[in-house]
A and B are shown apart, each in its own frame.
Chain A
């Protein structure tokens, strides 16, 4: 950790990841994992100029009351509706200044089976002029519940920050705890964690690609990709006893070994997807009516993605090439290599192409991992020690970061940064390049987590 003066804190360039505060300091995390801190003065710290810092500064104010001096956006992040009886005034949105514009409010209850959030669209005719998001509806006070618990006990909460990325969150959390305690998990555990993380990526990529196609009328693709997602969940159940592999990655190792018929189930799911993928991909390449809806829709320009240092397929579709599996990198990926696909178009179609390319890499990596499973062990027990650690894991939607402070075997403080935090502002922009009716497909192509930012 680098302790900064207020001037150094504000002048810092580089790729911003996250910001949070505790009782004495404000912390800012930069790629590839550099932590900077500035002491709080009267529970305040200088606001950062990175665009991605805005949400974190609002969240810090809700969580600890710390103020970012000079911040332009001081709206609450997650506490806006809280009143003792559960009711409070509906959040206030400024009326649009644009001539001829009207406003459409959507959510927090959405039409589809998705998480809660509120969207305010400013429209002129069909064209979206502005989108403002309001979150906090999935706020569960998870950080508070994790404090004071042992790393093993609190792992249940890390696994439930965002259910679709439960393996990645558990992995980043475990790696932060292991860094804090200078603990090295067995090599077999490290391999199995990577198997789970790649299956999670495959399950989400297949599900989301299908849903995007389904949204623009290609129900056949949706049905087939959903079938493959189901096949990976069934394989995960056969291999690890849980369809989403929840609570399988724990500090010190893994909670379950590969079961007897697990490897065969995983391999047959990989084969089935690999066999059908070319014909499914061809539909994306051949059908003009599908391309018409996806190409040029929901554009995130390269410069904007760079300003937010966006990760995952959202960043990669807009020229950003970082992948936490390579930078800063973690075991066992250095053994297997990784090709990171990058596109420049930044539209829905580019995000789909990135995910199709990532599927190929994940299939290859899972096969290589299963063919070379070490035999040393599954877990080592974390000692009741003290220390501070940072952990990262590349979830299907981008890097998940954990900062963990342990004191005498219990969590004294922590922070969790889901990649969605940097993706939501990009969605707000992407929607303004399209018409209102394209919002569902653009939202699906970004697929940011609500629970992951609400904490």
Chain B
């Protein structure tokens, strides 16, 4: 019952405000920094955009989330919103008809953004190289940070590639911002 809870809170005497020991606060801050490098540094949200694929890469990308590969266990998750994403993962060629949508997705993402090209088509256009309907691989649209080749790459290869990015990302944080110890 709500009124009981409210009454209990009203009748309780408020505890005196706590003043933190500066030494303890400093140590807490240090531990939090280490934890954030470990926790946040090892967690990336991925926004996937197909820019002109045959849907083979999407099948294997979805398979990374199944019981066997379980991408989530590494702190890697797919997010529907570009605003929440750290990684822009692109499958397929850079199709002319998708170029604007890819640019808009990238613009909607907060910096820094890691661009990952998954599959032979995303790497350099794959078998569709030279078609007037495409601009080339993903690098025709955006600078690419990581390529995961294969037609399509297996779920294992995709997971390996993303873990490599994760490790590089943690290292970057550690070196660049001197945030605690490496995981």
Q: Residue B38 at the A interface, CB < 8 A?
A: no
Considering the complex, give the chain B residue whose CB is closest to the CB of A450.
Answer: B55
* Contact partners of B50 in chain A: CB under 8 A: 114-116, 138
Q: A140 contacts B56, CB within 8 Å?
A: no
Q: A113 contacts B100, CB within 8 Å?
A: no
Prevailing SS type, chain B contact patch = mixed
B48 to chain A, nearest CB (A): 5
Q: A226 contacts B127, CB within 8 Å?
A: no
* Contact partners of B55 in chain A: CB under 8 A: 114-115, 138, 162-164, 449-451
Q: B96 contacts A86, CB within 8 Å?
A: yes
Considering the complex, give the chain B residue whose CB is closest to the CB of A85.
Answer: B99
Scan B67-79; emit 1 where CB is below 8 A from any A CB, else 0: 1100000000010
Q: A138-B50, A140-B131, A163-B57 are in contact. Are A108 and B101 (CB under 8 A)?
A: yes
Prevailing SS type, chain A contact patch = loop
A173 to chain B, nearest CB (A): 14
* Contact partners of A229 in chain B: CB under 8 A: 63, 66
Q: Residue A160 at the B interface, CB < 8 A?
A: yes
Q: A141 contacts B56, CB within 8 Å?
A: no
A272 to chain B, nearest CB (A): 13
B116 to chain A, nearest CB (A): 14
* Contact partners of A115 in chain B: CB under 8 A: 50, 53, 55, 58
A224 to B99, CA, bound (A): 37
- Which one of A138, A139, A207, A230 has the greatest number of beta carbons of chain B within 10 Å? A138
Choose among A81, A223, A449 the residue that contacts B96 (Cβ–Cβ < 8 A): A81
* Contact partners of A230 in chain B: CB under 8 A: 63, 66-68
Choose among B52, B56, B101, B134 the residue that contacts A163 (Cβ–Cβ < 8 A): B56
Q: Residue B132 at the A interface, CB < 8 A?
A: yes
Q: Which of A185-233 contact B (CB under 8 A)?
A: 207, 223, 226-227, 229-230, 233
Q: Residue B130 at the A interface, CB < 8 A?
A: yes
Q: B128 contacts A227, CB within 8 Å?
A: no
A433 to chain B, nearest CB (A): 26
Q: A144-B132, A162-B55, A163-B53 are in contact. Are A137 and B95 (CB under 8 A)?
A: yes
Q: Residue B60 at the A interface, CB < 8 A?
A: yes
Contact count band on B = 35 or more
Q: Residue B138 at the A interface, CB < 8 A?
A: no
A59 to chain B, nearest CB (A): 13
Q: Residue B122 at the A interface, CB < 8 A?
A: no
Q: Which of A66-97 contact B (CB under 8 A)?
A: 78, 80-82, 86-88
Choose among A137, A142, A162 the residue that contacts B128 (Cβ–Cβ < 8 A): A142
A180 to chain B, nearest CB (A): 22
Considering the complex, give the chain B residue whose CB is closest to the CB of A112.
Answer: B80
Considering the complex, give the chain B residue whose CB is closest to the CB of A111.
Answer: B80
* Contact partners of A145 in chain B: CB under 8 A: 127-128, 130-131
**Chain A interface residue count, Cβ-Cβ cutoff 8 angstroms:** 46
Q: B133 contacts A86, CB within 8 Å?
A: no
A451 to B56, CA, bound (A): 10
Q: Residue A102 at the B interface, CB < 8 A?
A: no
Q: B66 contacts A226, CB within 8 Å?
A: yes
A117 to chain B, nearest CB (A): 10
* Contact partners of A157 in chain B: CB under 8 A: 127
* Contact partners of B58 in chain A: CB under 8 A: 113-115, 163
Q: A109 contacts B105, CB within 8 Å?
A: yes
Q: B152 contacts A244, CB within 8 Å?
A: yes
A84 to chain B, nearest CB (A): 9
A137 to B50, CA, bound (A): 9
A362 to B92, CA, bound (A): 31
A162 to B56, CA, bound (A): 7
Q: Residue B98 at the A interface, CB < 8 A?
A: yes
Q: Residue A317 at the B interface, CB < 8 A?
A: no
Q: B52 contacts A138, CB within 8 Å?
A: yes
Scan B21-61; emit 1 where CB is below 8 A from any A CB, else 0: 00000000000000000000000000011111111111111
Q: Which residues of B contact A (CB under 8 A)?
A: 48-63, 65-68, 78, 80, 92-93, 95-101, 105, 127-128, 130-135, 151-152, 154
Q: A227-B67, A237-B154 are in contact. List 19 more A-B contacts (CB 8 A).
A: A82-B133, A86-B99, A113-B58, A113-B61, A115-B55, A116-B50, A139-B97, A140-B131, A145-B130, A145-B131, A163-B59, A163-B152, A226-B63, A226-B67, A243-B60, A244-B56, A244-B152, A246-B56, A451-B55
A-B contact pairs, 13 of them (CB 8 A): A86-B135, A108-B98, A114-B58, A116-B49, A138-B52, A138-B98, A139-B52, A140-B131, A144-B133, A163-B54, A226-B65, A243-B154, A244-B56
